[in-house]
Homo-oligomer: A and B are copies of this chain.
Amino acid sequence: MLNKRKIVNDPVYGFINIPYPILYDLIEHRYFQRLRRIQQLGLTNYVYPGANHTRFQHGLGALYLMEQAIAVLRLKGEVITEEESEGVMIAILLHDIGHGPYSHALEHSIVPDVSHELLSLLFMKELNRQFDGQLNIAIEIFQNQYHKKFLNQLVSSQLDMDRLDYLRRDSFFTGVTEGIVGSDRIIKMLTVENDELVVEEKGIYSIEQFLVARRLMYWQVYLHKTVLSAENLLVNTLKRVKQLSAMGQQVFTTPYLAFFLNPPLEISHYINSPDADECKLLLDNFALLEDNDIMVSAKVWAEHPDRTLSILSSNLISRKLYKIEIQHDTFPLELISAHKERVQQNLQVSGSDLDYFVFTGVISNNAYKTNDDRIKILLKSGKIVDITEASDMLDQSVLAKTVKKHFLCYPKGGGW
């Protein structure tokens, strides 16, 4: 259907084509449309005001890169049928459809037992039902059950189109331009060897740069201390809501947030139900949960009689964040106690409620692992080696080292 051919403007890549009608239908579906109202980076815009891009944009961007990758691999002689091409594009388009609002925070508070990966799969299956099996191959690829393994690697691996897009997109919208990844060049150097996605030898330097740019983005953006502070403020706010709710207190929520705060039945019930309609009920509710539900609720909570909740949520709304300290060692207990004492006096909060205001935690970057999922280089000799072996610079022991840091949060200044 030619009238379903569509071109979308994208500030990052220019124009994005939607090559198959089914892709267009999926984008039009309300399950996907909701991603327009879910920001890719949550509260990161509290630090980088430009970071308002959505998961909708990221889905389209990953689709764009997938189209490039398929064209490159075909040009190098790899056979990819039209069905496979469509399937792998559907898989990448929908790979993040299971993300909820402020995913990271939500998964640490209200819905701890529902991973976005699982939800993505459930959404795909439901969409497959609605579209009469047109997503069969996509789902096989997504679950790595398709016989051509490299198609799954294009969707989910160290060099998948997901990662290439989000790193580039996040650096674009945050304005951290030196985090730019040469996605074009990397894709041009991909090839398939023994059903495995590998990089041609001359791509070594691009891969090195990719790994370092990723690292830069981690510390400069994803684990930026002020972003951490904001996310922890949101997590604590949501935890308090859940706690109050469990204690039987009335707490305002928008209807769809309410479903997850007090689900009629266990969430796992819906997920595991043999009745597709029960799962659909869960998905339909989840599909209405957006960033705006959290933020509207927080504005109402700011006037809640519970002192802890009102302080947390009004600060969240006004961007009055915790002071955060980060260091390699753990923080001494006396320091934590001293902060708590100060808060107790200043904010008239006490007991275990103080943990909402003064707390420690641990962060670690997503280091390059050398066990299972690796970036493979195809040497001119025909040998395939890991990037850490092929590179002069990347020392495996350094690269694979997970850097772990401790942080301490407490209210700024005279007690907020």
Residues of A within 8 A of B (CB): 5, 7-12, 14-15, 28, 30, 33, 36-37, 39, 45-46, 48-50, 52-54, 56-57, 60, 75, 172-182, 184-185, 188, 204-206, 208-210, 212-213, 215-216, 219-220, 254-256, 288, 290-293, 295-296, 299-300, 317-319, 392-395, 398-399, 401, 403
Contacts and interface: CB of A to CB of B under 8 A. Distances in A.
User: 4 tightest A-B contacts by CB?
Assistant: A178-B182, A292-B292, A9-B175, A30-B318
Contacts of A177: 14, 180, 182
A299 B295 contact: no
A296 B293 CA distance: 6
Contact of A174 (B11, B176, B188, B291): B11
B45 A9 contact: no
A233 B172 CA distance: 32
Contacts of A392: 398, 401, 403
B220 A205 contact: yes
12 contacts: A10-B50, A52-B52, A52-B54, A176-B182, A178-B180, A178-B182, A178-B185, A255-B300, A290-B295, A290-B299, A292-B295, A393-B398
Nearest to A36: B45
Contact of A206 (B9, B50, B173, B216): B216
A300 B256 CA distance: 9
A279 B45 CA distance: 30
A76 to B, nearest CB: 9
A395 to B, nearest CB: 5
Contact of A213 (B36, B178, B204): B178
A47 to B, nearest CB: 8
A290 to B, nearest CB: 7
Query: By CB atoms of chain B within 10 A, which of A39, A50, A174, A212 has the most?
Result: A50
A130 B401 CA distance: 51
Contacts of A75: 5
A238 to B, nearest CB: 16
A237 B133 CA distance: 36
Nearest to A292: B292
Nearest to A178: B182
Given A52-B52, A178-B213, A292-B295, 9 more contacts: A14-B177, A177-B180, A178-B181, A178-B206, A209-B212, A254-B299, A255-B300, A288-B299, A291-B292
Nearest to A397: B395
Contacts of A393: 212, 215, 398-399
A184 B15 contact: yes
A70 to B, nearest CB: 15
A45 B57 CA distance: 10
Contacts of A403: 392
B10 A175 contact: yes
A290 B212 CA distance: 38
A180 B172 CA distance: 13
A33 B318 contact: yes
A11 B45 CA distance: 12
Contact of A205 (B28, B50, B215, B319): B215
A9 B176 contact: yes
A215 to B, nearest CB: 6
B49 A8 contact: yes
A72 B360 CA distance: 35
A50 B11 contact: yes
Given A180-B180, A392-B401, A15 B48 contact: no
Contacts of A319: 28, 33, 36
